[in-house]
Amino acid sequence: DGGITQSPKYLFRKEGQNVTLSCEQNLNHDAMYWYRQDPGQGLRLIYYSQIVNDFQKGDIAEGYSVSREKKESFPLTVTSAQKNPTAFYLCASLDGAVSNQPQHFGDGTRLSIL
């Protein structure tokens, strides 16, 4: 079945450490997104990419970095500069070639600090 796979499901970060969250999709979607969700909160956009080798900052990009070397993959790195990384991270993709389509979400990665 087509879908979005996020890994790992749980991740722990030590102080001063960078960690990378994986997001892979086999939906052949051009656009991919990363969101952060804090307990009881909505979704805040971190970064998004509309095409390979291009990406834009979202509302809360500080302390995060991304790459988009392949259409299927959009990894997110949480750097040591992100002082409050504990959250649920969601990846999504979108078929931008068709108007008014919904984003498809993965099942998230929960990141905690050790």
Partner 1 sequence: GENVEQHPSTLSVQEGDSAVIKCTYSDSASNYFPWYKQELGKGPQLIIDIRSNVGEKKDQRIAVTLNKTAKHFSLHITETQPEDSAVYFCAASKTSYDKVIFGPGTSLSVIP
Binding site for partner 1 (CB under 8 A): 4, 6, 31, 40-43, 45, 48, 50, 58, 90, 92, 94-108, 110
* Closer residue to partner 1 in complex, CB, 84/100: 100
Residues 6+ apart with CB under 8 A from 100: none
Give first-to-last CA distance, the chain, whole Å.
35
Min dist. Cβ of residue 50 to partner 1 (A): 5
Instruction: Kindly report the number of other CB atoms within 10 A of residue 66's CB atom.
Output: 22
Min dist. Cβ of residue 110 to partner 1 (A): 8
* Closer residue to partner 1 in complex, CB, 17/112: 112
* Calpha distance 82→34 (Å, rounded): 15
* Calpha distance 60→5 (Å, rounded): 23
Min dist. Cβ of residue 59 to partner 1 (A): 9
* Closer residue to partner 1 in complex, CB, 73/105: 105
